[in-house]
């Protein structure tokens, strides 16, 4: 995963800051669908220039700009602050002269989240630029409130993004800011399994392109909920899934608010593994990967088709039963620290099959018919009124019933087979009357 993310991160910032001649029109956008917002639509969105490359940022307050951490690095080192120029209060750079209200600021210092590793990417892809002098707040320039710590956007909710990126993977900057209004929030596992502090988005009409990194992701309530970080695919075609840094994650949100030692987030780049029940009978086993951050672990077993959770807790084993027949079982390791949560699923799944089981009782013996592994031990239990009178576990399919029971009484005889391989656990019960003496 880390390698895939690194490629995406590099692409989203590696864009020449080319400005079309005056009078050029906005190309059909990618990140933004067809919309070029007016200068006042997103007064918190700014253009960041560093040498010959461009990025996007969000105004936290008059003196601080939030952007992506990977956009302040070059060759593993943080770029000098004086290399950056912040442009606020405009939605285009194609005019011969800056539009009225445009503000330009230099950067005094750069603060990077401690969890960010420029060599591997990973969690914490955020940085804050401290300006040399405050911005002047007006109708085209102003801060955006950040979502509360712990208030991540709900799955399925719709958010809007802004960015100054190019309009295709190999295209040139058209000099306009763009917006994409119909991005649907998806789970982090759709773009960054194993990483905390991330949610994913997808839009049928657009996707992130180089230069959009660091841009604001805004909720319907007008709160800054995320920062554009990376894309999964090599191109920026509509419908791609993009990765967003989640500002509601405690380790991210607390850092944005000034905590330079936020609690750790869990992280892994190794998958969980899922083994079916042994053919000798037992349960499926889900083995989680090694996690950083010393998280509390929960193992989740679920139906792949509808996502229904069939077991969640500390146990790493699950025995498929009758309700699982026909379903495909998957599992994931859920890791939680005070700083955030992450999940990693197993690639393997188990298609659960029925193993027909029946038991017939004669006067002195029981006959078991089982459609699973032929030598699988089956447990026979004789009970009356909820109290067990006799039991035996055996691989034999014809078993003598006990003689030391009260003659003439009715009992319940049950045969139970454990889960084995792809076969679900099964049970079959019949009524049995103990024979009278001499019969």
pLDDT of residue 120: 79
**In contact, 15 and 53? CB cutoff 8 Å:** yes
Q: Is 403 exposed, middle or buried (0-12, 13-18, 19+ CB in 10 A)?
A: exposed
CATH number of 2-256: 2.40.10.10
Which residues have a catalytic role annotated? 70, 125, 213
pLDDT of residue 168: 60
- Cβ neighbours of residue 183 closer than 8 Å, sequence gap 6 or more: 158, 159, 160, 161, 201, 202, 203, 217, 242
* Residue ranges of the chain that CATH labels 2.60.40: 273-351, 357-433
Question: Dihedral through CA 206, CA 207, CA 212, CA 214, nearest 10?
Answer: 120
Q: Residues with Cβ < 8 Å from 239, sequence gap 6 or more?
A: 202, 203, 204, 207
Question: According to the model, what pLDDT value does residue 171 have?
Answer: 61
How many angstroms separate the CA atoms of 115 and 121, rounded?
Answer: 9
- 43 burial type by CB count under 10 A (0-12 exposed, 13-18 middle, 19+ buried): buried
How many other CB atoms sit within 10 Å of the CB of residue 307?
9
| pLDDT at residue number 327 | 96
Q: What is the pTM of this model?
A: 0.82
How confident is the model at residue 413, as a pLDDT? 96
Angle in degrees, CA 16, 19, 25, rounded to 5: 125
Fold of 357-433: Immunoglobulin-like (2.60.40)
Fold of the CATH domain 273-351: Immunoglobulin-like (2.60.40)
Q: In what order do the strands lie in the sheet with 317-318?
A: 273-275, 284-287, 317-318
Question: In this structure, are residues 417 and 357 in contact, taking their beta carbons and an 8 Å threshold?
Answer: yes
Beta bridge partners of 62: none
Per-block average pLDDT, block size 10, for the chain (439 residues)?
Answer: 31 38 29 53 91 90 97 92 94 75 94 92 90 95 96 96 75 69 91 94 88 93 96 84 96 97 95 95 96 96 95 97 95 98 97 94 92 89 93 93 87 94 94 79
């Amino acid at each position: 995963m880390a390698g895939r993310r690194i490629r995406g991160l590099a692409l989203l910032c590696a864009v020449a800051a080319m400005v079309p001649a005056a009078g050029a029109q906005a190309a059909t956008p990618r990140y933004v669908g067809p919309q070029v917002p007016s200068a006042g639509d997103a007064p918190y969105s700014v253009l960041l220039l560093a040498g010959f490359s461009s990025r996007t940022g969000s105004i936290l307050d008059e003196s601080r700009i939030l952007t992506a951490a990977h956009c302040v690095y070059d060759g593993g080192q943080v770029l000098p602050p004086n290399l950056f120029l912040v442009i606020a209060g405009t939605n285009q750079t194609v005019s011969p002269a800056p539009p009225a209200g445009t503000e330009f600021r230099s950067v005094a210092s750069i603060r990077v989240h401690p969890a960010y590793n420029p060599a591997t990417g990973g969690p914490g892809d955020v940085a804050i630029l401290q300006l040399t002098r405050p911005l002047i707040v007006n109708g085209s320039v102003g801060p955006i409130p950040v979502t509360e710590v712990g208030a991540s956007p709900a799955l399925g909710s719709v958010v809007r993004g802004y960015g100054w990126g190019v309009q295709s993977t190999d295209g040139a900057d058209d000099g306009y800011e763009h917006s994409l209004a119909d991005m649907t929030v998806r789970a982090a596992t759709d773009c960054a399994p194993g990483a905390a502090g991330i949610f994913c988005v997808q839009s049928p009409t657009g996707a992130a392109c180089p230069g959009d990194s660091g841009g604001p992701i805004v909720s319907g309530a007008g709160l800054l909920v995320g920062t554009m970080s990376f894309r999964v695919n090599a191109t920026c075609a509509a419908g791609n899934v993009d990765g967003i840094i989640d500002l509601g994650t405690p380790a991210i949100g607390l850092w944005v608010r000034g905590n330079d030692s936020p609690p750790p987030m869990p992280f892994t780049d190794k998958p969980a593994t899922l083994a079916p029940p042994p053919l000798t009978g037992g349960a499926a086993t889900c083995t989680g990967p090694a996690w950083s951050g010393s998280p509390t672990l929960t193992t989740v077993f679920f139906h792949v088709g509808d996502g229904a959770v069939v077991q969640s807790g500390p146990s790493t084993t699950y025995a498929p039963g009758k309700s699982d027949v026909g379903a495909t079982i998957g599992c994931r390791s859920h890791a939680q620290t005070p700083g955030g949560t992450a999940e990693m699923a197993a690639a393997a799944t188990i298609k659960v099959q029925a193993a027909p089981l029946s038991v017939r009782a004669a006067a002195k013996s029981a006959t078991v018919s089982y459609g699973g592994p032929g030598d699988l031990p089956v447990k026979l239990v004789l009970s009356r009124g909820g109290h067990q009178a006799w039991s035996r576990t055996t691989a034999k399919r014809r078993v003598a019933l006990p003689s030391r029971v009260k003659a003439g009484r009715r009992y319940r005889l049950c045969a139970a087979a454990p889960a084995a391989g792809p076969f679900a656990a099964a049970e079959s019960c019949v009524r049995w009357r103990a024979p009278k003496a001499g019969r």
